Structure 1
Amino acid sequence: MTDRDQRTIGAPLALLVLYTLFIAAITLTPQQLGTGPDTLIGHALDLFAAHRETSWLTYERVEKLGNVAMFIPFGFLAALHFGRRRWWLGFAVGASLSAAIEIFQGTVLTQTRFATLSDLVTNTLGAGLGALFGLAAMVMWPSRRTRSDSGRRLAAV
Protein backbone atom coordinates (compact mmCIF):
# COMPACT_ATOMS: atom_id res chain seq x y z
CA MET A 1 0.00 0.00 0.00
CA THR A 2 1.23 3.51 -0.67
CA ASP A 3 1.77 6.10 2.03
CA ARG A 4 -1.65 7.63 1.35
CA ASP A 5 -4.70 6.20 3.01
CA GLN A 6 -7.31 5.25 0.42
CA ARG A 7 -10.00 7.04 2.48
CA THR A 8 -8.30 10.41 2.10
CA ILE A 9 -7.37 10.66 -1.56
CA GLY A 10 -10.29 12.73 -2.89
CA ALA A 11 -11.56 14.66 0.12
CA PRO A 12 -8.39 16.63 0.98
CA LEU A 13 -7.87 17.58 -2.66
CA ALA A 14 -11.44 18.83 -3.07
CA LEU A 15 -11.24 20.79 0.19
CA LEU A 16 -7.80 22.10 -0.76
CA VAL A 17 -9.14 23.43 -4.07
CA LEU A 18 -12.08 25.09 -2.33
CA TYR A 19 -9.86 26.57 0.37
CA THR A 20 -7.40 27.87 -2.23
CA LEU A 21 -10.32 29.62 -3.94
CA PHE A 22 -11.27 31.13 -0.57
CA ILE A 23 -7.71 32.42 -0.07
CA ALA A 24 -7.76 33.85 -3.60
CA ALA A 25 -11.05 35.64 -2.92
CA ILE A 26 -9.58 37.19 0.23
CA THR A 27 -6.18 38.16 -1.17
CA LEU A 28 -6.50 38.70 -4.92
CA THR A 29 -9.35 41.19 -5.02
CA PRO A 30 -8.80 44.95 -4.92
CA GLN A 31 -10.94 45.42 -1.80
CA GLN A 32 -9.42 44.71 1.57
CA LEU A 33 -11.39 43.77 4.65
CA GLY A 34 -12.72 46.85 6.38
CA THR A 35 -10.46 47.89 9.24
CA GLY A 36 -11.85 51.32 10.01
CA PRO A 37 -13.18 52.34 13.42
CA ASP A 38 -16.81 51.46 12.53
CA THR A 39 -16.07 47.91 11.36
CA LEU A 40 -16.13 44.65 13.28
CA ILE A 41 -12.32 44.54 13.31
CA GLY A 42 -12.17 48.16 14.49
CA HIS A 43 -14.58 47.47 17.36
CA ALA A 44 -12.67 44.33 18.36
CA LEU A 45 -9.37 46.24 18.38
CA ASP A 46 -10.96 48.98 20.53
CA LEU A 47 -12.17 46.29 22.94
CA PHE A 48 -8.69 44.74 23.11
CA ALA A 49 -7.08 48.15 23.67
CA ALA A 50 -9.46 48.92 26.54
CA HIS A 51 -8.17 46.01 28.64
CA ARG A 52 -4.67 45.77 30.04
CA GLU A 53 -4.48 42.02 29.41
CA THR A 54 -5.18 42.36 25.69
CA SER A 55 -3.80 45.82 24.91
CA TRP A 56 -0.76 44.20 23.28
CA LEU A 57 -3.08 42.89 20.54
CA THR A 58 -2.63 45.68 18.00
CA TYR A 59 -3.79 45.76 14.37
CA GLU A 60 -0.33 44.73 13.15
CA ARG A 61 -0.27 41.70 15.46
CA VAL A 62 -3.83 40.69 14.59
CA GLU A 63 -2.96 40.93 10.89
CA LYS A 64 0.12 38.74 11.32
CA LEU A 65 -1.78 36.18 13.40
CA GLY A 66 -4.56 36.22 10.80
CA ASN A 67 -2.05 35.50 8.02
CA VAL A 68 -0.66 32.54 9.95
CA ALA A 69 -4.17 31.27 10.76
CA MET A 70 -5.37 31.61 7.17
CA PHE A 71 -2.63 29.32 5.82
CA ILE A 72 -2.77 26.61 8.52
CA PRO A 73 -5.75 24.83 6.89
CA PHE A 74 -4.03 25.09 3.50
CA GLY A 75 -0.87 23.37 4.76
CA PHE A 76 -2.93 20.77 6.64
CA LEU A 77 -5.05 19.82 3.62
CA ALA A 78 -2.05 19.84 1.29
CA ALA A 79 -0.12 17.52 3.62
CA LEU A 80 -3.09 15.14 3.77
CA HIS A 81 -3.32 15.20 0.00
CA PHE A 82 0.38 14.53 -0.57
CA GLY A 83 0.67 11.85 2.12
CA ARG A 84 3.20 10.93 4.79
CA ARG A 85 6.26 10.76 2.58
CA ARG A 86 5.62 14.08 0.86
CA TRP A 87 3.85 16.00 3.66
CA TRP A 88 6.48 18.74 3.40
CA LEU A 89 5.00 19.74 0.03
CA GLY A 90 2.19 21.37 2.05
CA PHE A 91 4.82 23.78 3.35
CA ALA A 92 6.50 24.26 -0.04
CA VAL A 93 3.27 24.74 -2.00
CA GLY A 94 1.99 27.12 0.69
CA ALA A 95 5.17 29.19 0.42
CA SER A 96 4.82 29.23 -3.37
CA LEU A 97 1.17 30.27 -3.19
CA SER A 98 2.04 33.05 -0.76
CA ALA A 99 4.84 34.28 -3.02
CA ALA A 100 2.48 34.28 -6.01
CA ILE A 101 -0.09 36.27 -4.02
CA GLU A 102 2.48 38.84 -2.92
CA ILE A 103 3.82 39.20 -6.48
CA PHE A 104 0.28 39.69 -7.80
CA GLN A 105 -0.52 42.23 -5.10
CA GLY A 106 2.75 44.06 -5.74
CA THR A 107 2.35 44.23 -9.51
CA VAL A 108 -1.35 44.19 -10.41
CA LEU A 109 -3.12 45.46 -7.29
CA THR A 110 -0.67 48.27 -6.45
CA GLN A 111 -3.44 50.85 -5.99
CA THR A 112 -5.20 49.03 -3.15
CA ARG A 113 -2.90 46.26 -1.88
CA PHE A 114 0.61 46.08 -0.55
CA ALA A 115 3.05 43.24 -1.07
CA THR A 116 5.13 42.70 2.05
CA LEU A 117 7.85 40.33 3.10
CA SER A 118 6.16 39.90 6.49
CA ASP A 119 3.02 38.57 4.76
CA LEU A 120 5.14 36.07 2.84
CA VAL A 121 6.84 34.95 6.06
CA THR A 122 3.65 34.68 8.13
CA ASN A 123 1.70 32.91 5.37
CA THR A 124 4.57 30.45 4.91
CA LEU A 125 4.77 29.90 8.67
CA GLY A 126 1.05 29.08 8.70
CA ALA A 127 1.39 26.62 5.81
CA GLY A 128 4.35 24.98 7.56
CA LEU A 129 2.44 24.63 10.83
CA GLY A 130 -0.55 23.22 8.95
CA ALA A 131 1.66 20.70 7.15
CA LEU A 132 3.14 19.60 10.48
CA PHE A 133 -0.37 19.22 11.92
CA GLY A 134 -1.29 17.17 8.85
CA LEU A 135 1.73 14.92 9.35
CA ALA A 136 0.85 14.51 13.02
CA ALA A 137 -2.72 13.58 12.09
CA MET A 138 -1.52 10.98 9.58
CA VAL A 139 0.84 9.48 12.16
CA MET A 140 -1.81 9.40 14.90
CA TRP A 141 -4.50 7.92 12.64
CA PRO A 142 -3.13 4.67 11.25
CA SER A 143 -4.05 3.99 7.67
CA ARG A 144 -6.80 1.47 7.08
CA ARG A 145 -5.73 -1.55 5.07
CA THR A 146 -7.71 -2.46 2.00
CA ARG A 147 -8.93 -5.99 1.36
CA SER A 148 -6.34 -6.59 -1.34
CA ASP A 149 -3.55 -5.61 1.06
CA SER A 150 -4.73 -7.98 3.77
CA GLY A 151 -5.13 -10.76 1.18
CA ARG A 152 -1.57 -10.21 -0.04
CA ARG A 153 -0.31 -10.30 3.52
CA LEU A 154 -2.08 -13.61 4.22
CA ALA A 155 -0.75 -15.12 0.98
CA ALA A 156 2.78 -14.15 1.94
CA VAL A 157 2.53 -16.05 5.25
Structure 2
Amino acid sequence: MTRPPRRVLGALVAAGAVVAVVTLSPVPLQQVLDRPLGRVLALLHGWGLPGSAHLAEAAANVALFVPLGLLAALVLARRWWWAVLVGAALASLTIEVVQHAVLAQRVGSARDVLANTLGTLVGIGLAAVWQRVRRRRASGLAPVAGHGGRG
Protein backbone atom coordinates (compact mmCIF):
# COMPACT_ATOMS: atom_id res chain seq x y z
CA MET A 1 0.00 0.00 0.00
CA THR A 2 1.22 3.47 -0.82
CA ARG A 3 1.56 6.06 1.90
CA PRO A 4 -1.57 8.15 2.43
CA PRO A 5 -1.35 11.81 1.47
CA ARG A 6 -0.53 14.16 4.32
CA ARG A 7 -3.83 15.95 3.84
CA VAL A 8 -5.70 12.70 4.60
CA LEU A 9 -3.65 12.21 7.77
CA GLY A 10 -4.22 15.85 8.71
CA ALA A 11 -7.95 15.50 8.12
CA LEU A 12 -8.01 12.35 10.28
CA VAL A 13 -6.29 14.19 13.14
CA ALA A 14 -8.70 17.13 12.72
CA ALA A 15 -11.72 14.80 12.73
CA GLY A 16 -10.43 13.16 15.91
CA ALA A 17 -9.99 16.57 17.52
CA VAL A 18 -13.56 17.56 16.59
CA VAL A 19 -14.89 14.33 18.12
CA ALA A 20 -12.90 14.98 21.31
CA VAL A 21 -14.12 18.57 21.65
CA VAL A 22 -17.76 17.75 20.89
CA THR A 23 -17.94 14.69 23.14
CA LEU A 24 -15.73 15.72 26.04
CA SER A 25 -16.70 19.34 26.52
CA PRO A 26 -18.42 19.91 29.86
CA VAL A 27 -21.51 21.44 28.19
CA PRO A 28 -23.44 19.15 25.84
CA LEU A 29 -23.67 20.41 22.28
CA GLN A 30 -27.45 20.07 22.29
CA GLN A 31 -27.64 22.76 25.01
CA VAL A 32 -25.82 25.16 22.70
CA LEU A 33 -27.94 24.17 19.70
CA ASP A 34 -31.26 23.79 21.51
CA ARG A 35 -33.03 26.76 19.92
CA PRO A 36 -31.83 26.17 16.31
CA LEU A 37 -32.53 22.44 16.65
CA GLY A 38 -36.05 23.20 17.84
CA ARG A 39 -36.62 25.35 14.75
CA VAL A 40 -35.36 22.62 12.42
CA LEU A 41 -37.53 19.98 14.10
CA ALA A 42 -40.58 22.27 13.88
CA LEU A 43 -39.85 22.78 10.17
CA LEU A 44 -39.62 19.00 9.64
CA HIS A 45 -42.96 18.52 11.43
CA GLY A 46 -44.45 21.26 9.27
CA TRP A 47 -43.42 19.31 6.17
CA GLY A 48 -45.00 16.18 7.61
CA LEU A 49 -41.66 14.51 8.29
CA PRO A 50 -40.86 12.71 11.52
CA GLY A 51 -38.40 14.42 13.75
CA SER A 52 -37.52 14.39 17.40
CA ALA A 53 -34.65 15.47 19.59
CA HIS A 54 -33.77 11.79 20.15
CA LEU A 55 -33.68 11.10 16.41
CA ALA A 56 -31.58 14.21 15.82
CA GLU A 57 -29.14 13.18 18.56
CA ALA A 58 -28.85 9.65 17.16
CA ALA A 59 -28.23 11.02 13.66
CA ALA A 60 -25.60 13.41 15.02
CA ASN A 61 -23.85 10.54 16.82
CA VAL A 62 -23.75 8.54 13.59
CA ALA A 63 -22.59 11.53 11.53
CA LEU A 64 -19.87 12.47 14.02
CA PHE A 65 -17.99 9.22 13.46
CA VAL A 66 -18.44 8.87 9.67
CA PRO A 67 -15.35 11.01 8.88
CA LEU A 68 -13.25 9.00 11.34
CA GLY A 69 -14.24 5.71 9.72
CA LEU A 70 -13.72 7.07 6.21
CA LEU A 71 -10.37 8.71 6.83
CA ALA A 72 -8.93 5.92 8.99
CA ALA A 73 -9.92 3.37 6.34
CA LEU A 74 -8.22 5.49 3.66
CA VAL A 75 -5.06 5.61 5.77
CA LEU A 76 -4.91 1.89 6.56
CA ALA A 77 -4.77 -1.16 4.32
CA ARG A 78 -8.10 -2.93 3.83
CA ARG A 79 -6.99 -5.88 5.96
CA TRP A 80 -6.88 -3.51 8.97
CA TRP A 81 -10.34 -2.00 8.55
CA TRP A 82 -11.73 -4.29 11.23
CA ALA A 83 -9.30 -2.57 13.64
CA VAL A 84 -10.76 0.82 12.66
CA LEU A 85 -14.22 -0.41 13.65
CA VAL A 86 -13.02 -1.97 16.92
CA GLY A 87 -10.89 1.07 17.76
CA ALA A 88 -13.76 3.47 17.15
CA ALA A 89 -16.11 1.36 19.27
CA LEU A 90 -13.57 1.33 22.10
CA ALA A 91 -12.96 5.07 21.75
CA SER A 92 -16.71 5.69 21.86
CA LEU A 93 -17.08 3.45 24.91
CA THR A 94 -14.26 5.37 26.63
CA ILE A 95 -15.94 8.69 25.78
CA GLU A 96 -19.24 7.53 27.24
CA VAL A 97 -17.57 6.25 30.44
CA VAL A 98 -15.79 9.60 30.87
CA GLN A 99 -19.05 11.46 30.26
CA HIS A 100 -20.80 9.35 32.88
CA ALA A 101 -18.03 9.36 35.50
CA VAL A 102 -16.41 12.77 35.14
CA LEU A 103 -18.64 15.25 33.32
CA ALA A 104 -21.56 16.23 35.55
CA GLN A 105 -23.72 17.71 32.76
CA ARG A 106 -23.15 14.78 30.38
CA VAL A 107 -24.79 11.37 30.32
CA GLY A 108 -23.01 8.29 29.03
CA SER A 109 -25.14 6.05 26.82
CA ALA A 110 -24.77 2.61 25.26
CA ARG A 111 -27.02 3.89 22.46
CA ASP A 112 -24.39 6.53 21.66
CA VAL A 113 -21.70 3.83 21.45
CA LEU A 114 -23.84 1.92 18.95
CA ALA A 115 -24.58 5.05 16.91
CA ASN A 116 -20.91 6.08 16.85
CA THR A 117 -19.89 2.58 15.79
CA LEU A 118 -22.53 2.63 13.05
CA GLY A 119 -21.12 5.96 11.86
CA THR A 120 -17.65 4.42 11.69
CA LEU A 121 -19.04 1.50 9.68
CA VAL A 122 -20.72 3.93 7.26
CA GLY A 123 -17.38 5.74 6.88
CA ILE A 124 -15.58 2.47 6.15
CA GLY A 125 -18.24 1.65 3.56
CA LEU A 126 -17.71 5.02 1.91
CA ALA A 127 -13.97 4.35 1.82
CA ALA A 128 -14.62 1.02 0.09
CA VAL A 129 -16.77 2.74 -2.55
CA TRP A 130 -14.19 5.49 -2.98
CA GLN A 131 -11.37 3.00 -3.50
CA ARG A 132 -13.42 0.92 -5.94
CA VAL A 133 -14.24 3.97 -8.04
CA ARG A 134 -10.58 5.04 -8.04
CA ARG A 135 -9.42 1.55 -9.09
CA ARG A 136 -11.98 1.44 -11.91
CA ARG A 137 -10.91 4.85 -13.17
CA ALA A 138 -7.22 3.97 -12.93
CA SER A 139 -7.75 0.75 -14.90
CA GLY A 140 -9.74 2.57 -17.57
CA LEU A 141 -12.94 0.64 -16.91
CA ALA A 142 -16.31 2.21 -17.52
CA PRO A 143 -18.23 3.58 -14.52
CA VAL A 144 -20.47 1.18 -12.64
CA ALA A 145 -23.88 0.94 -14.36
CA GLY A 146 -26.25 3.58 -13.08
CA HIS A 147 -23.50 5.49 -11.29
CA GLY A 148 -22.18 8.27 -13.44
CA GLY A 149 -22.38 6.67 -16.86
CA ARG A 150 -24.02 8.36 -19.85
CA GLY A 151 -27.37 7.31 -21.17
User: What's the TM-score once normalised by structure 2's chain length?
Assistant: 0.81
Selected match of 1:30 from 22, 26, 29: 26
Offset at residue 34 of structure 1 (A): 4.1
1:68 paired residue number: 62
* CA 139–87 in structure 1, closer or farther in 2 if over 3 Å, else same: farther
* CA 37–120 in structure 1, closer or farther in 2 if over 3 Å, else same: closer
1:49-68 to 2 correspondences below 5 Å: 49-52=45-48, 54=49, 56-68=50-62
The whole-number CA distance in structure 2 between the counterparts of 1:134 and 1:89 is 14
Report Cα offsets for 1:98-130 as digits up to 9, x if no partner.
111111101111x20000110000000000111
1:5 aligns with 2:2: yes
* Identical-residue share of aligned pairs (%): 30
* CA 5–20 in structure 1, closer or farther in 2 if over 3 Å, else same: same
2:35 paired residue number: 39
1:1-157 to 2 correspondences below 5 Å: 4-6=1-3, 8-35=4-31, 39-52=35-48, 54=49, 56-109=50-103, 111-142=104-135
Query: Unmatched 5+ residue regions in structure 1?
Result: 145-157
Report Cα offsets for 1:29-51 as digits up to 9, x if no partner.
11112458971111111222233
- Structure number with larger C-alpha Rg: 1
Offset at residue 85 of structure 1 (A): 2.3
Number of equivalences: 137
* CA 142–38 in structure 1, closer or farther in 2 if over 3 Å, else same: closer
Question: What is the root-mean-square deviation of aligned Cα atoms in Å?
Answer: 2.2
The whole-number CA distance in structure 2 between the counterparts of 1:38 and 1:69 is 18
The whole-number CA distance in structure 2 between the counterparts of 1:40 and 1:124 is 26
In 2, are the aligned partners of 1:36 and 1:42 still within 8 Å (CA)? no
**Which amino acid in the other structure matches residue 134 of structure 1?**
A
* CA 92–47 in structure 1, closer or farther in 2 if over 3 Å, else same: same
**Which amino acid in the other structure matches residue 141 of structure 1?**
R
